[in-house]
Structure 1
Amino acid sequence: MRTGTVKQFDQGSPFGFVKDDLNGKSYFVFYKAIKEEGYKSLNVGDRVRYQLAQGKNGLQCINVYLTNSKDKD
């Protein structure tokens, strides 16, 4: 699985972008791609692991799992 950092996630209309650790590119992520139990949400700075798949408008994140929260620096 790939790893990255949440760069943007809109709680009002749940979608956003994850910046990939390997290549620095940002990929679209939908709320429905989050595979956590209970309340599903991502916050800017959260670390995630995910897979990429071809979506309607290019590559997007699927099977997204929160790995740990952002640093509190």
Structure 2
Amino acid sequence: MRTGTVKQFDKNSAFGFIDDDLTHSSYFVFYKSIKEQGYKSLEVGQRVYYQLAQGKNGLQCINVYIDHDKQGEN
């Protein structure tokens, strides 16, 4: 899986962007791709694991997991 940091996430629109650690590119993420229990949202600066997949408008993040061990280590 890839790793990255949440760059932006709009809770009202339910989407945002994740900065990839390897490529330093930003990729789109939709709330349905977040694999957490309960309310699905991300916070700016959170560390995440994810996969990339081809979406309608290019690569996007899927199977997003929050790295609970790395929170606050930015």
The equivalent of 1:2 in structure 2 is: 2
SS at match of 1:24: coil
Which whole-Å CA distance do the structure 2 matches of 1:70 and 1:6 have between them? Answer: 11
The Cα offsets for residues 4-48 of structure 1, whole Å up to 9 and x where unpaired, read as: 000000001100000000010000000000000112110000000
TM-score by length of 2: 0.92
Q: Give the C-alpha shift of residue 70 in structure 1.
A: 4.2
Letter of the 2:8 counterpart? Q
SS at match of 1:28: strand
Kindly tell me: are residues 5 and 59 of structure 1, through their superposed partners in 2, closer, same or farther at Cα, counting changes over 3 Å? same
Q: Percent identity, aligned pairs only?
A: 71
The equivalent of 1:71 in structure 2 is: 72
TM-score by length of 1: 0.93
* Superposed CA RMSD: 1.5
The equivalent of 2:39 in structure 1 is: 39
The Cα offsets for residues 28-71 of structure 1, whole Å up to 9 and x where unpaired, read as: 00000000011211000000000000000000000000003642
Which whole-Å CA distance do the structure 2 matches of 1:20 and 1:54 have between them? Answer: 16
- In the alignment of these two chains, the number of paired residues is 73
Q: Give the C-alpha shift of residue 72 in structure 1.
A: 7.1
Runs of 4+ in 1 over 4 A off after TM superposition: none
